[in-house]
Amino acid sequence: MSANAEQHGVDSGSLPHTVAAALPQIEAYMATVVRLAGAPPALEQAMAYATLGGGKRLRPLLAWHACMASGGAGPESLPAGAAIELVHCFSLVHDDLPALDNDDLRRGRPTLHRQAGEAMAILAGDALLNHAFGLLADRLPPTLALATIRELADACSRMIAGQVLDTLGFEGDPDASEWDDAARLERIHRGKTGAMLVASVRMGAMSSGSAEPASLKALTGFAEAAGLMFQIVDDLLDVTQTSEHTGKRTGKDAEAGKLTYPGVFGVEASRRMVEEMRDTALRAVEPFGEEAEGLRQICRFLAVRTR
Amino acid sequence: MSANAEQHGVDSGSLPHTVAAALPQIEAYMATVVRLAGAPPALEQAMAYATLGGGKRLRPLLAWHACMASGGAGPESLPAGAAIELVHCFSLVHDDLPALDNDDLRRGRPTLHRQAGEAMAILAGDALLNHAFGLLADRLPPTLALATIRELADACSRMIAGQVLDTLGFEGDPDASEWDDAARLERIHRGKTGAMLVASVRMGAMSSGSAEPASLKALTGFAEAAGLMFQIVDDLLDVTQTSEHTGKRTGKDAEAGKLTYPGVFGVEASRRMVEEMRDTALRAVEPFGEEAEGLRQICRFLAVRTR
């Protein structure tokens, strides 16, 4: 346990029990959504490999606890949480491809293209993205289905834009010539990871059926700060941890010459930014009562996680 | 003009004027949908390159004329037609990738990955697929939006399944051991091209706001036959035409050892199948009046097209 983790009374290796209690239901639900009637078994297997491989389920958990913070019970968020997780898994599969980040290891196992070939990784990623929308349309009441589809399409579009900037840079963008590295970094990460984390919280809150505009706004503020914090921690882990510990290749950002928080601001300043972002996120949900405790605990955990 | 074309009074090089009259509106609408607020210019350019590059617009035209056949005026089909076209273009971009069909030429120009690199082709393809759903959710009335999103997700899932079978074969599928080449071929193509052509007609008809279940069923029958016919013609063109004429690499199916209609049934039998499928499709829309004339003309044209 790190000093930072001890300070918050959280085991940095795992989520608090009260927060993680939803995981079995999330996992069971995920297993039901990757069955595709009539699909070739090899495609279904590839989709399952990419989605049932022991991810943290951070996004469905955020959706679950944002649903609770908005007066829901939690399980109403399962379709939204699963759809976001499908999109998250699709993005990992495509980002790992040789033409992008060229990663061989993900969650301690071979990446999908190492396991099933590049063609299958491209196609299974496509199928996961597509399936996320079908899932929302099929499993939610009409108004909620449409509202969450809009959120998801918008967040996914921002995520892809962030990935384009992260992988290919800002070339050809006349506006970007005025931005320094810090501005570029924020732009990349608000898209690449931030947008989908914000969507997790918003779609989960919407799933409660009782989220007021003001509380949705407060939750969005929470998610924006927590999302940026999540990425800074990710960049720090890439510098400070071993592959064996995180289950994915580390040290790769520097190797690829990518903009990172420790690279731009230094390790110490990045650590301070993590604490600032954590506090900003927690302040955003101060008006909420006990029912937002899950979100607060996730936020504190994300500040001290070590993988 | 081929003998076959003369027989139907159709110039085999282009669509009849009455059918093609919708093209300027379709083209103008397509140009409005690939603008993404806040996206990196390079991503928007790649999406535009892939979607505004002079395709036949067969799918939006089918949607338009199915809308008319169902009592609509035509333009109501534009969002549905554009969404299908985005998915079609995404599928071409990903299918052309080195790990899949490895094509350098599409519509007489370099494929997107030859033009903008593999990473951008993967990401722009993802963005096009995602954007299709956002488009339907944003631009259609709620009930129609949700119904067309369901159709599109289902059709796209079948299309990807067909592409998996076409590229990677039937390995790992216990059912497939009993299927002969003809059964496999039909299964590949009902997915790979058929599903999206059926969706074009169905989503166009639904866009009219007045498609009855019985007429939707008849139009589905039309599209299934016309879709299979389309693919048989495609396979025949791959054998009989030059790249220069079709604007894409030809002779590649045989080279890749793929199952094709001429390969399994021979050229002459494949030509007879084209005529049979054309007649089946036309019979399906016999009960419709003058307003289905556009669909009939598209069907006759597709039977004799040479590119």
What does the alpha-carbon distance between residue B150 and residue B134 come to, in Å, rounded to a whole number? 13
| CB-based contact B99:A126 (threshold 8 Å) | no
Q: What's the per-residue H, E or C state across chain B?
A: CCHHHHHHCCCCCCCCHHHHCCHHHHHHHHHHHCCCCCCCHHHHHHHHHHHCCCCCCHHHHHHHHHHHHCCCCCHHHHHHHHHHHHHHHHHHHHHCCCCCCCCCEECCEECHHHHHCHHHHHHHHHHHHHHHHHHHHHHCCHHHHHHHHHHHHHHHHHHHHHHHHHHHCCCCCHHHHHCCHHHHHHHHHHHHHHHHHHHHHHHHHHHCCCCCHHHHHHHHHHHHHHHHHHHHHHHHHHHHCCHHHHCCCCCHHHHCCCCCHHHHHCHHHHHHHHHHHHHHHHHHCCCCCHHHHHHHHHHHHHHHCCC
pLDDT at B278 over 60: yes
pLDDT at A249 over 90: no
| CB-based contact A220:A66 (threshold 8 Å) | no
pLDDT at B217 over 50: yes
Percentage, residues of chain A above pLDDT 70:
92
Say if the Cβ atoms of B42 and A164 lie within 8 Å: yes
The tens digit of pLDDT for each residue in B152-178 reads 999 999 999 999 999 888 877 888 888
- Which of A113, A164, A177, A190 best probes binding to B when mutated, by most B CB atoms within 10 angstroms? A164
User: What is the predicted ipTM?
Assistant: 0.92
Residue B306 banded pLDDT, cuts 50, 70, 90:
confident
Residues 111-150 on A with a CB inside 8 Å of B are 117-120, 122-123, 125-127, 129-131, 133-134, 137-138, 142-143, 145-146, 149-150
The tens digit of pLDDT for each residue in B57-107 reads 999 999 999 999 999 999 999 999 999 999 999 999 999 999 999 999 988
Residue A38 is predicted with a pLDDT of 80
Shortest alpha-carbon distance between residue B55 and chain A (Å) = 22
Say if the Cβ atoms of A163 and B99 lie within 8 Å: no
- Which of B102, B140, B143, B168 best probes binding to A when mutated, by most A CB atoms within 10 angstroms? B168
Which residues in A lie closer than 8 A to residue B153 (C-beta atoms)?
A: 130-131, 133-134, 137
The tens digit of pLDDT for each residue in A197-206 reads 999 999 999 9
Residue A4 banded pLDDT, cuts 50, 70, 90:
very low
- β-pair type (B105-106, B109-110): antiparallel
Residue A250 is predicted with a pLDDT of 64
Residue B250 is predicted with a pLDDT of 64
Say if the Cβ atoms of B172 and A133 lie within 8 Å: no
pLDDT at B193 over 70: yes
Say if the Cβ atoms of B161 and A119 lie within 8 Å: no
- The answer to which of A272-286, B29-43, B217-231 has the lowest mean pLDDT is B29-43
Residue B10 is predicted with a pLDDT of 37
Per-residue pLDDT averaged across B123-147, rounded?
97
Neighbours of A67 (CB within 10 A): 31
Which residues in B lie closer than 8 A to residue A184 (C-beta atoms)?
A: none
Residue A244 is predicted with a pLDDT of 64
Residue B14 is predicted with a pLDDT of 75
Percentage, residues of chain B above pLDDT 90:
73
Residue A3 is predicted with a pLDDT of 40
Say if the Cβ atoms of A154 and B131 lie within 8 Å: no
Question: What does the mean pLDDT of chain A come to?
Answer: 90
Shortest alpha-carbon distance between residue A50 and chain B (Å) = 16
Residue of A nearest to B156 (CA): A130
Max Cα–Cα distance, chain B, nearest Å: 53
pLDDT at A11 over 70: no
Check if B48 contacts A (Cβ < 8 Å).
Answer: no
Residue A245 is predicted with a pLDDT of 66
The tens digit of pLDDT for each residue in A182-225 reads 989 988 988 989 999 999 999 999 999 999 999 999 999 999 99
Residue among B120, B150, B171 minimizing CB distance to A42: B171
pLDDT at B7 over 60: no
Residue B240 is predicted with a pLDDT of 83
Question: What does the mean pLDDT of chain B come to?
Answer: 90
Check if A105 contacts B (Cβ < 8 Å).
Answer: no
- Which of B133, B148, B158, B184 best probes binding to A when mutated, by most A CB atoms within 10 angstroms? B133
Residue A177 is predicted with a pLDDT of 83
* pTM (2 d.p.): 0.93
Question: What domains can be seen in chain B, in order of their start residue?
Answer: 3-304 (1.10.600.10)
What does the alpha-carbon distance between residue B294 and residue B298 come to, in Å, rounded to a whole number? 6
Residue of B nearest to A145 (CA): B146
What does the alpha-carbon distance between residue B299 and residue B275 come to, in Å, rounded to a whole number? 11
pLDDT at B249 over 70: no
Check if B102 contacts A (Cβ < 8 Å).
Answer: no
Residue B243 banded pLDDT, cuts 50, 70, 90:
low
The tens digit of pLDDT for each residue in A152-177 reads 999 999 999 999 999 888 877 888 88
Residue A82 is predicted with a pLDDT of 98
Neighbours of A120 (CB within 10 A): 25
Specify the 3-state DSSP secondary structure of A50.
helix
Say if the Cβ atoms of B123 and A94 lie within 8 Å: yes
Residue of A nearest to B141 (CA): A146
- The answer to which of A243-247, A270-274, B5-9, B303-307 has the lowest mean pLDDT is B5-9
- β-pair type (A109-110, B105-106): unpaired
Say if the Cβ atoms of A38 and B133 lie within 8 Å: no
Residue A307 is predicted with a pLDDT of 76
